[in-house]
Amino acid sequence: MIRSLPNSRTYIWSFRVFVILYFVFLFAPLLVTCVLAFNDSDFPSLPWNGFTLDWFFSPGPKRVGIFHDAQNLRSILVSIETALAVSALSVVVGTCAAFTFERERFPGKGPLYFLMLAPLVIPGVILGVSQLLAATTAGAFAETYLGLDLAVFRPSFWLVVLGQFSFITTFVALVVAARLRKFDRSLEEAALNLGATRLGVVRLIILPYLRPAIIGAGAVAFLMSFENFNTTLFLVGSQPTLPINLYLQVRDGSTPVINAISLLLIVGTSCLALCNLTFSSKES
C-alpha cells in the first residue's frame, strides 16, 4: 500500500506504469509542439521531412521565421511591457495589502479581507467584461460632464494593465502576507527601543526581510500577466498581447511559426519556473 509496507510486485509495477502514463499525458502536447517547430514542412504535422531552422530564422518571402515576423515580435514586446507594468503595480499595492491585513487593526477589516479574496473566485471573463463596462461608463461620464475624451477608458494598453492588475494583486498580497506572518516581532521591538521610527522599521528591517517573497511574487505576477487570456480578451485595443495574437492565428489555421513561438515560451517559462522553485526552496 505505502512504501513502509511490503507490497506485491504487480502493485508496484502497475502503479509505476500508471504514473509514467500520466507523465506522458502531461508532457506529450508540449514535446510534440517543440519537436514540430523543427520539421521541414509547411504544416505543423507529421511526417517528418527533415530538420530545419526556417521557422526561427528564415527571412521570407515563402517562410517567415519568428525572428523576422514583425507582427508576432511586436505582440511579444507588448506582452513584456504589459507584464512589467502589471508586476510593478501589483507588487507595490500587494505589499501594502499584506501590511494592512497582517499588521493593522481597523473597523471593517474582515469584510475588506473578504473583498480582497474575491478576485480569486471571480471568473476572468467576468472581470474583463465588468472592467470594460466600468471603463466605458467612466469614459462617457468624463466626456459629458468634464468635456474630456480620455483614451485610458477605451480598450487599450492601460486598460489591459488595470484589468490584469485587479486580480494579480491578490496573489501577490497572499504570498507577501504569508512571509510577513513569520516575521519575528522582537526585531521590530528592538529597533523601536533603539529609537527607530515606525516607517524606519518598515524600510530598514521588514522590507529587506520580505525581499525574497516580493521578488518571487513579482516573478509570478509577471508570468500570470504574460499568459493571461480571459481578462485581456475583452480589454485589448489595437495592440494585441502575445496570447491574443496567437489565439487569432491558431483559430484561423496554423503554421509552424506558432510552434517556434511556443518553443521559446516553453523554454523561457520553464527557466523562470525552475529559478523560482530553486530560489524558494533555498529560502525555506
Partner 1 sequence: MRRSRLILWIFLAPVLMWLALLIVLPHLDLLVMSFRAKDEYGKMGFSLRNYVTFFTEPIYWLTFVRTAVYSVITTFFTFVLAMPVAFYIVKVVRPRFRGALLTLVLLPFWVSELVRVYGWMILLRESGVVNFLLKKIGLVDAPIRMLYTDAAMVMGLVYTSMLFMVVPVISVMDSLDDSLIEAACDLGGSTWSIWREIILPHCKPGITSGAIVVFMLSLGNYLTPNLMGGKNSLWFTEQIYNQFIASFNWNQGAAFGFLLLVLSSLIIWAGLRISRQKLGEVAS
Distance between CA atoms of 253 and 232, rounded to whole angstroms?
A: 22
Span between the terminal Cα atoms of the chain, in Å: 31
DSSP annotation of 37: T
Q: In the complex, what is the shortest distance from the CB of residue 61 to partner 1, in angstroms, rounded to a whole number? A: 25
Is 250 a residue that touches partner 1 (CB under 8 A)?
yes
Rounded-to-integer distance, Cα 42 and Cα 12, Å: 45
Print the binding letters for residues 184-223 with partner 1: x by CB under 8 A, - otherwise: -------------xxx--x--------------------x
Taking the least distance from each CB to partner 1, the nearer of 74 and 103 is: 103
Quote the CA–CA distance of 123 and 194 in Å, as a whole number. Answer: 49
For the bound state, the minimum distance from the C-beta of residue 43 to partner 1, rounded and expressed in Å, comes to 7
Q: Which of 99, 153, 157, 222 binds partner 1 (CB under 8 A)?
A: 99
Find the shortest distance in angstroms from Cβ 172 to partner 1: 11
Query: 95: closest CA among 220, 216, 201, 214?
Result: 214
**Choices 53-61, 66-74, 183-191, 252-260; region in contact with partner 1 by CB under 8 A:** 252-260
3 lies in the site for partner 1, by CB under 8 A: yes
Task: For the CB of residue 53, give the shortest distance to partner 1 in the complex, in Å.
Answer: 19
Question: What residue type is 29 in one-letter code?
Answer: P
> CA Rg, the chain, in Å?
24
Provide, rounded to whole angstroms, the least separation between the CB of residue 133 and partner 1. Answer: 5
Give the shortest CB-213-to-partner 1 separation in angstroms.
Answer: 14
Considering only 63, 88, 130, 212, the residue that binds partner 1 (CB under 8 A) is 130
Give the nearer residue to partner 1 in terms of CB position, either 62 or 251. 251
Among 64, 76, 86, 132, binds partner 1 (CB under 8 A): 132
Q: How far apart are alpha carbons 52 and 44 in whole angstroms? A: 13
Binding-site member from 237, 274, 279, 283 for partner 1 (CB under 8 A): 274
Report the distance separating Cα 258 and Cα 246, nearest Å: 7
The C-alpha atoms of residue 24 and residue 26 are separated, in whole angstroms, by: 5
Locate 26 and state its grid cell: 502531461
Residue 27 contacts partner 1 per CB under 8 A: yes
Nearest to 91 by CA among 251, 250, 217: 217
**Three-state secondary structure string covering 138-181:** HHHHHHHHCCCCCHHHCCCHHHHHHHHHHHHHHHHHHHHHHHHH
DSSP 119-138: HHHS-HHHHHHHHHHHHHHH
Interface residue with partner 1 among 77, 134, 140, 190 (CB under 8 A) is 134
Taking CB under 8 A as the rule, does residue 22 contact partner 1?
yes
Rule CB under 8 A: which of 49-88 touch partner 1?
A: none
Site for partner 1 in 140-169 (CB under 8 A): 162, 165-166, 169
Binding partner 1 by CB under 8 A: which of 53, 178, 190, 207? 178
Which residues in the 101-120 window bind partner 1 by CB under 8 A? 103-104, 106, 112-120
